């Protein structure tokens, strides 16, 4: 089985409502879809949702890198040789994990379909039967976030992830308002997306939030400031999660060596896809660090890939892959049973891509062949 051609689609996924985090507001989600076709006629889909604040990649650069650098190098390669595929990509260009993730995911989808097995069977087999889904609250006023939290709890959600990171004092009010509204039995996770900048600001906030009983605090400081995470972890009882500060093996080694986090957020877009994500999970497992598979707000394609990784590892104790629930139109049909996600047993990613919707949402496309 060889890679015969790669089609690349630049699309914009429409959001039901704006998605607001510490460093930006998204009215739609720019994404790159890769359609991989083998000489045996098997088709695999991959996805890249770039975030220039995290990996330095953009929507436009990711399209160009796949078209001009990765795709030509991969024509004729066997997509089932995952380690070799990544070696080819790493030889072609340094970094660009989001671009590489799209190719990696497409390979797993195509190979799973060729072998007639779900992608998680290519990763060691299924461990988890289901995962609870966490609703993500965009940054808004304390009143608005509390109201939305109450509505989601009524719908059956048992956990909430709050996006904060614009102003420490206002963020404290937001978190306290949500906790007061939903009571003590609902799990609350807080994601600062680097917005509190340093350990001093973070520790000031945490003194006021100790009574809120947070599940964990995620990435309060700048991504590269691992030492600040060490200090915060030592001075607060709230569990610490690293997200933007973990991209690949180098960061994971430092996190483990310095005991900088209780939990890490592994994202396929940050590390290069499903295969590298499993390597990070193995490292974390050996160090006794719990893992989550997180999201860059991908469509059904990228979200399903993340779920296959999460479902295959014992050390994965939570997931936050809710992109498809935020879109008014999606290219795939990943099924949620809110507040849970159950993966099907179809081959590959188990997602059917609607070619008509893909074409409708496509802004630009190109095909690379041998």
- Catalogue the active-site residues: 163, 191, 218, 243, 267
Contact yes or no for 51/318 (Cβ under 8 A) = no
| Burial (CB count <10 Å: 0-12, 13-18, 19+), residue 250 | exposed
Phi and psi, residue 30, nearest 5°: -70, 135
Give the SS3 label for residue 301: helix
Contact yes or no for 217/242 (Cβ under 8 A) = no
Query: Hey, what are 333's tokens?
Result: 């049909």
Find the angle CA(159)-CA(118)-CA(335) to the nearest 5 degrees: 40
Tell which residue, 123, 90, 159, has the closest CA to residue 281.
123
Q: Tell me the three-class secondary structure of 196-253, residue by residue.
A: CECHHHHHHHHHHHHHHCCCEEECCECCCCHHHHHHHHHHCCCCEEECCCCCCHHHHH
In angstroms, the CA 217 to CA 357 distance is 37
Sequence-separated (6 or more) residues with CB below 8 Å from residue 116:
347
DSSP string, 122-149: GGT----S-EEPPEEEPS--HHHHHHHH
Tell which residue, 160, 258, 144, has the closest CA to residue 214.
160
Residue 145 preceded by cis peptide, ω within 30: no
- Dihedral Cα 138, 139, 145, 148, nearest 10 deg: -20
């Amino acid at each position: 089985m060889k890679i015969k051609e790669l089609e690349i689609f630049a699309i914009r996924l429409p959001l039901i409502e704006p998605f607001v985090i510490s460093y930006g507001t998204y009215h739609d989600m720019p994404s790159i879809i890769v359609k991989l076709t083998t000489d045996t006629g098997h088709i695999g889909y991959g996805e890249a949702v770039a975030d220039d604040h995290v990996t330095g990649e953009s929507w436009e650069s990711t399209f160009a890198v796949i078209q001009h650098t990765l795709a030509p190098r991969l024509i004729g390669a066997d997509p089932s040789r995952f380690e070799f595929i990544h070696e080819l990509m790493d030889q072609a260009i340094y970094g660009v994990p989001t671009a590489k993730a799209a190719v990696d995911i497409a390979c797993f989808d195509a190979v799973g379909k060729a072998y007639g097995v779900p992608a998680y069977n290519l990763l060691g087999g299924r461990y988890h039967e289901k995962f609870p889904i966490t609703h993500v609250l965009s940054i808004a006023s304390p009143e608005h976030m509390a109201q939305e939290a109450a509505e989601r709890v009524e719908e059956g959600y048992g956990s909430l992830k709050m996006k904060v990171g614009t102003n420490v004092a206002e963020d404290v009010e937001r978190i306290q308002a949500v906790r007061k509204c939903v009571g003590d039995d609902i799990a609350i996770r807080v994601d600062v997306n680097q917005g509190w900048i340093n350990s001093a600001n973070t520790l000031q906030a945490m003194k006021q939030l100790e009574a809120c009983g947070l599940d964990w605090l995620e990435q309060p400081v700048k991504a590269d400031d691992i030492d600040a995470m060490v200090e915060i972890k030592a001075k607060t009882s709230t569990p610490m999660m690293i997200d933007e500060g973990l991209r690949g093996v180098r960061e994971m080694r430092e996190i483990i060596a310095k005991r900088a986090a209780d939990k890490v957020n592994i994202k396929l877009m940050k590390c290069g896809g499903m295969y590298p994500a499993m390597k990070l999970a193995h490292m974390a497992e050996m160090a006794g660090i719990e893992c989550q598979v997180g999201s860059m707000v991908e469509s059904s394609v990228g979200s399903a890939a993340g779920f296959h990784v999460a479902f295959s590892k014992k050390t994965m104790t939570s997931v936050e892959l809710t992109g498809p629930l935020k879109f008014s139109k999606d290219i795939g049909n990943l099924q949620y049973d809110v507040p849970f996600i159950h993966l099907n047993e179809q081959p590959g990613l188990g997602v059917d891509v609607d070619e008509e919707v893909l074409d409708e949402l496509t802004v630009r496309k190109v095909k690379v062949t041998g």
